[in-house]
Amino acid sequence: MFATFFSAQNLTFVDYTRTLRMKFLIMRLYTISFIAFFVLTAFAQNKYDGDMLTSFLGKSSASVELKDLKAGYNCQMANENHYLSRDGIELILSNGVLYEIHLYATSAVYGNFTGKLPKNLRFGMYSSELKNLLGKPLVSYNSGYCEYAVGDYLLSCWFEAGKLNQMGIALK
């Protein structure tokens, strides 16, 4: 009888331990899920960046796409053809159509663009790295400026101390 009682208590203890382990595992999964959700939400880029930016060129100021772009970067209207953002982006329209997008690594006026740049470029890269990626530029000046024809748009790059610090994307 003692052996049976001990064995039954032992099973109960084992079951209790398993239950605790399962509860601990479930709590751990909830915690990890919460942290992952928080990180993804906090750092999610709902803004448009990278090569996607070029798709906005030529869009009408009344288009939903351009309104979304302006909203995504909290652009403020300087005038009907010029929008500014503290997120390092500037939009320039011509005849009611988005003609140019300027991106700034660091600017007292425009802030810092932290998104991806078109063509896998990145702020801080040297002009030689850029040339390795895009080839020979259409125009290049020793003052720290070069221009590339990429598809149906022009890519203008400005360098400070030899490093990319500003980019312009414009319709051809």
| CATH number of the domain enclosing 104 | 3.40.33.10
| C-beta neighbour count of 70 within 10 angstroms | 19
Same-domain status, 34 and 57: no
Name the band, by pLDDT with cuts 50, 70 and 90, for residue 49.
Answer: confident
Same-domain status, 82 and 166: yes
Tell me, what's the pLDDT at 46?
45
Same-domain status, 79 and 121: yes
Distance CA 133, CA 135 (A): 6
pLDDT mean across residues, the chain: 84
Same-domain status, 9 and 69: no
Same-domain status, 140 and 158: yes
Same-domain status, 162 and 78: yes
Same-domain status, 94 and 163: yes
| Segment 57-72 mean pLDDT | 94
Distance CA 135, CA 92 (A): 27
Same-domain status, 78 and 161: yes
Same-domain status, 56 and 40: no
| Segment 5-29 mean pLDDT | 66
Given a contact cutoff of 8 angstroms between Cβ atoms, the answer to whether 13 and 19 are in contact is no
% of the chain with per-residue pLDDT over 70? 81
Domain that residue 63 falls in: 50-171
Same-domain status, 122 and 161: yes
Tokens of 69: 């772009």
**Paired residues of 139 in beta bridges:** 147
Same-domain status, 35 and 64: no
DSSP code of residue 122: -
- The vertex-111 CA angle with 36 and 65, nearest 5°, equals 70
Distance CA 166, CA 104 (A): 5
Domain count, the chain: 2
User: Among 38-47, 64-73, 90-99, whose mean pLDDT is lowest?
Assistant: 38-47
H helical segments located in the chain: 2-43, 64-72, 127-134
Tell me, what's the pLDDT at 157?
96
What region does 11 belong to: left with phi over 0, alpha with psi -120 to 50, or beta?
alpha
pLDDT at 76 over 50: yes
Tokens of 23: 């509860």
Tell me, what's the pLDDT at 14?
65
Same-domain status, 163 and 83: yes
Distance CA 30, CA 53 (A): 37
| Segment 107-114 mean pLDDT | 91
